[in-house]
Amino acid sequence: MSKAQFPSLRMRRIRQTDWVRRMVAETRLSVDDLIWPIFIQDGKNQSESVAAMSGVNRLSIDLAVEAAKKAADLGIPCMALFPNTPADKRTKDGNEACNPENLICRATHAIKSAVPDIGILCDVALDPYTNHGHDGLLEDEIILNDETVEILAQQALNQVAAGCDIIAPSDMMDGRIGVIRETLEFAGHSDTLIMAYAAKYASAFYGPFREAVGSGDRLKGDKRTYQMNPANSDEALREIALDIAEGADMVMIKPGMPYLDIVKRVKDNFHIPTFAYQVSGEYIMLANAAEQGLMDRQSSIFESLLAFKRAGADGILTYFAIEAAEILNS
Ligand code: PBG
């Protein structure tokens, strides 16, 4: 260990110019780190702003294809698709999730046909399809686990048939990764990737997203019997271990910035591709603060994303993906 002390030791030497700061930077953000979540709606040539998320629009499939071209041109490796299901297709049991002609399947197929080189990630959960806004089957105020898992496996199979590359179960039912993996293997889809929303917390930060997919007003109660208690950290490691054992290729922590300690523990313990979701509430905190002139937009976006990398994330799902890629490419 060096015995250098001030004044022979001066930490500011490595910060004095741009070139030396770049030279000693320990983490870097790259376009390869970005996954871009988008919202899909019915129609043609439709781009409707999401009231709760300034700067984010729901796109009809034709415009989603254009958006995918733009993302691919910027070098973004992957997009995550979320549907705003028409009201008349939302039911108690969410069976629209298994319809091969649903919004997500049509969007996936259209994007993969036009832009084969961008990865498509599809969420597995019933909330965009149920009339009660829950991720699983609801009976007498209880979310049924095993019955839900059977449907989720069919939903996953449906999405893979449409061309989905990464299945991302966000429902937090027990045992679903194993059942989905087995179902995919049995159907011959042995190359499908699974990114488990392994540690997903019951969070207020999802509020704006629920408006975007139209599940917020419908939601009865909360999701605390399946999503995790924000107080817990060891429990996240148990969840991650289980999902890996059941066949997940990659894991995700969600929300992101308030849970960077979890990202770090997961990466340090499991050494598996680890992703974090900078969720809708985190997006609006930054976007709205910038809009009001309270913070510099570009540098706060960049800093927030770099923080994920520093904590150990291999990539970030972020609504800022396009903007961040533009900054990085310029
Ligand atoms: C659905 C799902 C949610 C999000 C991603 N998938 C909402 C929820 O669990 O209620 C939130 C994403 C965001 O807030 O940006 N299960």
Q: How far is the CA of 267 from the centre of ligand 1 (A)?
A: 22
Please state the pTM of the whole predicted model: 0.97
Look at residue 21 and tell me if it is in a domain. no
- What is the mean predicted confidence (pLDDT) over 184-197? 98
Express each pLDDT in 7-45 by its tens digit.
999 999 999 999 999 999 999 999 999 999 999 999 999
Ligand 1 site, residue 170, Cβ cutoff 6 A = yes
Total number of domains constituting the chain: 1
CA atoms of 157 and 219, how far apart (whole Å): 26
What's residue 1's pLDDT?
61
254 counts as catalytic = yes
Pocket probe for ligand 1: among 127, 252, 286, the residue whose CB has the most ligand atoms within 8 Å is 127
CA atoms of 180 and 164, how far apart (whole Å): 14
Round the average pLDDT of the chain to a whole number and report it.
Answer: 97
Ligand 1 site, residue 228, Cβ cutoff 6 A = no
pLDDT over 90 (residue 220): no
pLDDT over 90 (residue 2): no
Look at residue 66 and tell me if it is in a domain. yes
What's residue 234's pLDDT?
98
Look at residue 15 and tell me if it is in a domain. no
Look at residue 20 and tell me if it is in a domain. no
Active-site residue identified among 112, 200, 267, 309: 200
* Structure-token match 């019997």, residue found: 225
Look at residue 186 and tell me if it is in a domain. yes
Per cent of the chain over pLDDT 70 is 99
For residue 63, the enclosing domain spans: 27-329
Express each pLDDT in 67-106 by its tens digit.
999 999 999 999 999 999 999 999 999 999 999 999 999 9
Closest C-alpha residue for ligand 1 atom 14? 206
- What is the mean predicted confidence (pLDDT) over 269-295? 98
**Which of the 8 DSSP states describes residue 93?**
S
Ligand 1 site, residue 282, Cβ cutoff 6 A = no
Look at residue 4 and tell me if it is in a domain. no
Look at residue 6 and tell me if it is in a domain. no
Atom of ligand 1 nearest to the CA of 206: 14
- What is the mean predicted confidence (pLDDT) over 120-138? 97
Within 13 A of 307's CA, how many CA atoms are on the CB side?
Answer: 16
Look at residue 202 and tell me if it is in a domain. yes
- What is the mean predicted confidence (pLDDT) over 190-199? 97
Q: How far is the CA of 28 from the centre of ligand 1 (A)?
A: 27
pLDDT over 80 (residue 51): yes
Q: How far is CA 135 from CA 93, 172, 176, 192, 309, in A?
A: 10, 8, 12, 22, 29
CATH, residue 128? 3.20.20.70
Atom of ligand 1 nearest to the CA of 205: 14
What's residue 91's pLDDT?
97
